[in-house]
Structure 1
Amino acid sequence: MDVLINVFVALHIIGIASLLGGFLTQMKAMSEGTARFNHAMLHGALTMLVTGVALVGLNQADDQTVNNVKIGIKMAVLVVILALVYVKRDDERVEKPLFGAVGGLTTVNILIATIWT
């Protein structure tokens, strides 16, 4: 079971890297007002959602304790990110505050995952 959990953790990290990397590649475009949500950001957020749900299930099946409050907050933040990226994915440009919010919420999600013990 530990190997399977570690595989899903790796996939979860790949998802966050895709989401944050997609955001970071658009930073210059954001300052110019031409940023847009790319496929990497959408697929990264979806990967995080699927692997996160799988990780909760696998950890509970393995009788490990799961902090449901932490997971609930992370899930809520991710759902907001996913909704913003999904709804605006076809727009030619995304407003700076909206685009910045996705980057900020992604960073918040990473901080919750790493700092909250």
Structure 2
Amino acid sequence: MDVLINVFVALHIIGIASLLGGFLTQMKAMGAGTARMVPAMLHGALTMLVTGVILVGLNQAEGAAVNNLKIGIKLAVLVVILGLVYVKRDDEKIDKAVFGAVGGLTVANIFIATLWT
């Protein structure tokens, strides 16, 4: 079971890398006002959602303690990110505030995951 959990942790990290990497590749375009939500951002957010839910289920099935408040906050932040990315995915230009919010919420989600013990 530990190997399976570690596989899904790795997939979860790949998802966050895709979301954050997609954001970072558009930083220069954000300065010019031409940033857009790239497909990697949507796929990364969806990967994070699916693998995160699976990880919670696997950890609970194994009997490990799960901090439901932390998971709930991370899920809420991810749902907002996913909503913004999904709604704006076809727009040619994204408002700087909306695009910055996606990046800020992504970084916040990373810090919640790593610093909240």
Letter in 1 for 2:24: L
**Alignment TM-score, normalising by the size of structure 2:** 1.00
Name the structure 2 match of 1:69: 69
Letter in 2 for 1:110: I
Name the structure 2 match of 1:87: 87
Letter in 2 for 1:89: R
May I ask how many residue pairs the two structures share in their alignment? 117
Letter in 1 for 2:59: N
Letter in 2 for 1:58: L
Any stretches of 5+ residues in structure 2 without a counterpart? Answer: none
Name the structure 1 match of 2:60: 60
Identity rate of aligned residues, in percent?
Answer: 81
**CA deviation vs aligned residue, 1:19-64 (integer Å, no higher than 9, x gap):** 0000000000000000000000000000000000000000000000
**Alignment TM-score, normalising by the size of structure 1:** 1.00
What is the CA RMSD across the aligned residues, in angstroms? 0.2
4+ residue stretches of structure 1 with deviation over 2 A? Answer: none
Distance in 2 (CA, whole Å) between partners of 1:56 and 1:94 is 33
